[in-house]
Every structure is written in C-alpha cells, then in structure tokens.
Structure 1
C-alpha cells in the first residue's frame, strides 16, 4: 500500500490491493473506514472508487498499448470536460503485459465514471424534479415554500400536503385520468383522500411512492445522500424511478411506523420495520405525526388548538360560542380538510370553515 494520504486520483485507489480487499471482502485491516471518515473530500473520492470497484470485476484483456493509450486519453478528456475543471491529466504510456492489465481495469473504471455521470443523469430524465416538471408542465401548479415554517396545500381531491421549508410541490389544478400524480422536491407530509379507482403517486426524484389513502412523510432534498419515506397510517408501495438501470423495478411495501431509506449512490433500498429504533427517523417526525387525533368528549376549542399545533396553522373561531361544545370523533386517518369538515358537522347548526393557505376561519353560532 502506497501513502494513501497522497491519493488524489481514483486510479490510485483501484491499484491498491488493501482498498479492494476492504471494498469486496470487508477486510479492513488497514482501517480504511476510519481513514475515510476523517475527511469529507476524501470520503467523496473513496465513494466514487467503491462504485467503480463494484462495477468493474473484469479481467485484463489483450488490448494493445496504443489502444490503451487512446482510450485513457479520450476518457479523461470526457471526464474533465464534464466536470468543467482545468486540471490536466497525465496519461502514462503503458507497455508490458502486467501494466496493460491494470490499464484495462482503469479504462473500464474511467468509462464507468463517465457513463455514470453522463448517461445516468442525462438519459434518466425522470429522476430529476426539474426534468419531470418540464415534461409534465401542462396544467401543473407549483408551490415553493421559501418561508421558515411549513405550508398547507389542499389538493383538488381533498388531500393535504404539509410542505416544509426549502421544498417545492407541483400538482394539477384538477386531477384527471386514472391516477393522481404530484411531484416533490424537498420534504412534505402527505394525507391522502381515499379513492380506490385513482391511486395517488408522488414522484420525488429517484423514487415513486404509490398509495390509495394514507398518511406518510417523504424527504427528498436534492443535496441529501438519501431519500426517506416514513409511513404513519395505511400502506405505501415504493419503487425506484431509475428505469434505465432497473429492468425489473423492485417494489417495497411499507406499513404504519415503517420507513424506507434509499441510497442515491448505492441504489439500495433499506427498509426499517420499526422507526422507533432509528433516532434520525424519529427526530424527523413533526407534531402532525406525534399528536393524537382520537377525541372522546373533548372541548372543540382544545381540538382546534391541537390542529393549530400539528399543522402550524391559525384558526379563527368564535370561542365564546363554542366554549361549551364537546365532541367525540376519530380524525387520525383524514386529510386536514376532511378533519375540519367532520368537526363542523359534529358542531352542527350549519357550522362551516374556509381556508386561505395557513389561515382557517370557522363560522358558527354554537353547537347543537
């Protein structure tokens, strides 16, 4: 093993036998994992080298020295142009058979890198939120949350989305056809109205989440290394949106209190069957998932306060007229608009509500 602290090229990792043993055999006698975690820039280079190690596994062939030379020069040229760097790559002229074997591996690895960065991102346009929107822009509305608190979006079918800061959601003004499709970049908590004839699909970059009527959270910020889905109620089906690399799309089914973590680089689905055992997942939950919406003879005023806390909305209601009103109801598995409708119907006397973004107004003369 050379002095790995001086490694600046992927090829140096590929030529290091101890590195390959660590990647392929989990043999870490040289403490590669600890060494990698010491430096974020180093970790990025190591991850790229690991991807190539898994992708390669090809024997040395009978490439001529000229062919190796030409391939190396052409591949490096493409990679450097793609990354828009000015760093010059020095290509060594390889002559003997032993070196030709290493060269063949490097050529394959470098071509894999170019293929990954060019074909993967360019041809698989459906993976990227912006590309999806370009292809489906007709009739789509886009909501961008540039504030520092979540925003409530009510869709045409009554489904509600609690859109987190620095997130975007594109959706049709009215759902038509046999499916209800929306597109997410960032994070949102979804509560979906039940409609067995029209499944609801959330396209969040690399994954597609399909439901009938349920509640779940998706976290898919563009710069995060993982995409996460956490289910609160109902059943969720998820599969990869990387059709170019998945001839048969793997589907993962999640039940309540289960989650999926999808690695963007590893392309691996990691199913978590109990989110309480994963601190990073539980810390991501909001009040809307933690609070109980089971009410037994509870004052309406208190129920409104619970909704305000859960959805970060402001509810204007005639407190003096409703302070003696108590209701019993279950609101666990309904979107926000359905929750408000059930409460108003329970109060009676033609009680109604109106929503304008995060502002809700209740009109009532009191309970029955």
Structure 2
C-alpha cells in the first residue's frame, strides 16, 4: 500500500471509510500502520486534517469554496467535547497541523499548477490593448474610453485599452501625440514610451519620442505632469538629472531627454516641431463672443474632423467659454450646450443639430 502523499491517502478507500465510520477494526489497523511507519506520522495527520476540511478528494474541490470549508472546519473544531467524544483523541490531533498540511501537503502538490493558473488569471485580468497607427499625412484624432483625446502625429502609433483599469489609465506611445486628459484625481493617466513615462491627473501636453530621433521630449500646455525616464546608462556626470530621476513640469515647460548624454533637460516654451505643428494650444479656446462658425473651423483644422451644421441656424451664434483645458469631446459638448444644440459623431464626422440661434 503506497501512501506517499496526501492524495494517496484521500484516494485510499480504507482510509476514507475509516474517516467516515466508527469501526474498531479500522481504528486498530491505522494505529498499527502508524506504529509501523513513524516517519509518515505527520503526513497521516495532514491527510486527516485535509479530509476534515474538504470532505472530498482535492480534484473535486469546487473553486471559490475555500472560505466556506474553512468555516465548517472551525465549527467542527469548536464543537463541545461531548459531541466528539466517540472519536480517538489522536484522530483530532490532526487539526493542530491544519495550516502546515495546507502549506506542504495538498497545496504543495498543486503549487506548479496553481502558479500557472495564477499567471493565466493575472493575464486575463490585464486590459487588452488596441493599437492605432497613423499612416496619413495629417494628425489623427483618437477619443479614449475615459473621454481623453489624443491627437496622433503621422508616422506614430498609440496603444490603449477599450476600458481602463480601476486605479490607473495607461496608454503606450511610439512617436508623437498631443493629449488632453479627462480630469480624474483618483485615477492617474500614464503615457509610456520606450524612453519616458509621463504621469498626469488632468492636463494637456505633448509627448514626442521617435526611435529615429536623437531626443525625446514632453511639453506641457496646461496643468502639471511628472516625467520619469525609463532607464539609466552608465557614465552620467555627477549631479545631472539623469534617466530614472523625476521631473515635474508646469504650464509652458518642456523636458528633453538627450539620448547621447542620457540627461533630462528642463526648459521653457519651445516651438512645436515636426508633424504636430498645429495643436490646440495655437488656437485660444478661451472664447469671448466668438462666432460658432469660427470655432467649428478651428475644430476641423486642429483635430482633423469635419463639422457639419446648418449655417442658417447657427450662423448668428456666438460662444463665451473657457475650453482651454478640456478634451475634444467635452469641448464639443460644451460648445453645443452654449448654442442650444446636440451632436452625433460618426468616425471623424460631427453633425450639429438643434434649434440654434435663429431668433
């Protein structure tokens, strides 16, 4: 009779029958077995404790019932002594090694599978990222699940989940994009590139990190961001804000990562280079009695969308609102609220409808 682990005991019919009945003959048999195998005394007690916990073979243990079975075991152990006087005292000694049994017995046997299952479940819980590449010659507008807007430069790619995690919002950028982040102080927003990670709570900023270029940079239009470089190369000069350090940027500030020297260099306002030259910051969305038609034109020019509206209904409308630090879709919502209108979005086409300003 080979009894080398807890599973062997739980699969042994004589052992299970002894556990389930008051049989003097079986009592004598297992006491004799223990005398003959003193080196397996602990394993025997572990098997008894495990059976008392689960009442069935481990392979049939229903997922998610651990707590309930632990509770049943606790109730069993807390029974009045009279209620369990019919069992031999040494039978219940197994309960004293329950924790050890669970650690080195049943769970020890399943540890490899548990690790695999744990990794699989962790992977399933991770958000699935979708990648959008801009192969056109003009910026591409991407509206994210939380309301954040990203204006993606030509030759760039953005990876993002359909639904963000509960405690953070993460996107991955290869290239350049201008972000207007939906404010949510409880759920920070991260833009990750191969060289930089930018953390924000709600602001507008530009990230540029092309593999083909010598430098990577982050420029803030409004609010504050925290920029952290991804790695540290050897040989940095002492005192330099090298990779791995954190730099906090405010409005109109820029930080540049020099790939050759591995330094983070903070500076003031700079011109908008490269493919993303026309960003929302170059048109003031701090509106004061601005014709709606002009605002619609600015949306089309900057975000690469087409705005369809009735010029007769909305031609006399003007707007007064501060939309500087507002993501694209919220801009459109607030604009419509100001001119008694509603909108629908179909791809890159926005249709404005409503009463307008005829009177």
Name the TM tier (shorter chain).
Answer: 0.5 to 0.7
Q: Does 1:327 align with 2:319?
A: yes
Work out which of the residue numbers 229, 242, 260 in structure 2 matches 1:240: 229
Shift of 1:136: 10
Work out which of the residue numbers 202, 215, 238 in structure 1 matches 2:204: 215
Work out which of the residue numbers 251, 254, 274 in structure 2 matches 1:256: 251
- C-alpha change, 1:287 and 1:139, in structure 2 (3 Å) is closer
> What CA distance in whole angstroms lies between the structure 2 residues aligned with 1:183 and 1:172?
10
The match for 1:67 is none
Alignment of 1:15-26 (within 5 A): none
Give the secondary structure class of the aligned counterpart of 1:260.
strand
- C-alpha change, 1:207 and 1:287, in structure 2 (3 Å) is closer
CA contact (8 A) 1:153 1:357 kept: no
Alignment length (residue pairs): 230
Shift of 1:290: 1.0
> What CA distance in whole angstroms lies between the structure 2 residues aligned with 1:248 and 1:153?
30
The match for 1:301 is 293
> What CA distance in whole angstroms lies between the structure 1 residues aligned with 2:243 and 2:195?
15
Larger Rg, first or second structure (1 or 2): 2
> What CA distance in whole angstroms lies between the structure 2 residues aligned with 1:305 and 1:151?
16
Give the secondary structure class of the aligned counterpart of 1:275.
coil
Shift of 1:280: 7.0
> What CA distance in whole angstroms lies between the structure 1 residues aligned with 2:135 and 2:274?
25
- C-alpha change, 1:307 and 1:284, in structure 2 (3 Å) is closer
The match for 2:330 is 338
- C-alpha change, 1:244 and 1:164, in structure 2 (3 Å) is same
- 1:185-234 CA-to-partner distances (Å, cap 9, x unmatched) read 01100000000000000001111000000001111111111111111000
- C-alpha change, 1:318 and 1:332, in structure 2 (3 Å) is same
CA contact (8 A) 1:192 1:200 kept: yes
Shift of 1:266: 2.0
> What CA distance in whole angstroms lies between the structure 2 residues aligned with 1:167 and 1:282?
12
Q: Does 1:224 align with 2:213?
A: yes
Shift of 1:138: 4.8
The match for 2:354 is 364
Work out which of the residue numbers 269, 280, 297 in structure 2 matches 1:275: 269
CA contact (8 A) 1:151 1:358 kept: no
> What CA distance in whole angstroms lies between the structure 2 residues aligned with 1:260 and 1:356?
37
The match for 1:355 is 345
- C-alpha change, 1:178 and 1:203, in structure 2 (3 Å) is same
**TM-score, normalised relative to structure 2:** 0.59
The match for 2:136 is 147
Give the secondary structure class of the aligned counterpart of 2:173.
strand
- C-alpha change, 1:137 and 1:221, in structure 2 (3 Å) is farther
Shift of 1:152: 0.4
Aligned alpha-carbon RMSD (Å): 2.7
Name structure 2 gaps, 5 residues minimum: 1-122, 237-241
Give the secondary structure class of the aligned counterpart of 1:344.
helix
Shift of 1:135: 12
Name structure 1 gaps, 5 residues minimum: 1-133
**TM-score, normalised relative to structure 1:** 0.58
> What CA distance in whole angstroms lies between the structure 1 residues aligned with 2:277 and 2:233?
33
> What CA distance in whole angstroms lies between the structure 2 residues aligned with 1:135 and 1:258?
39
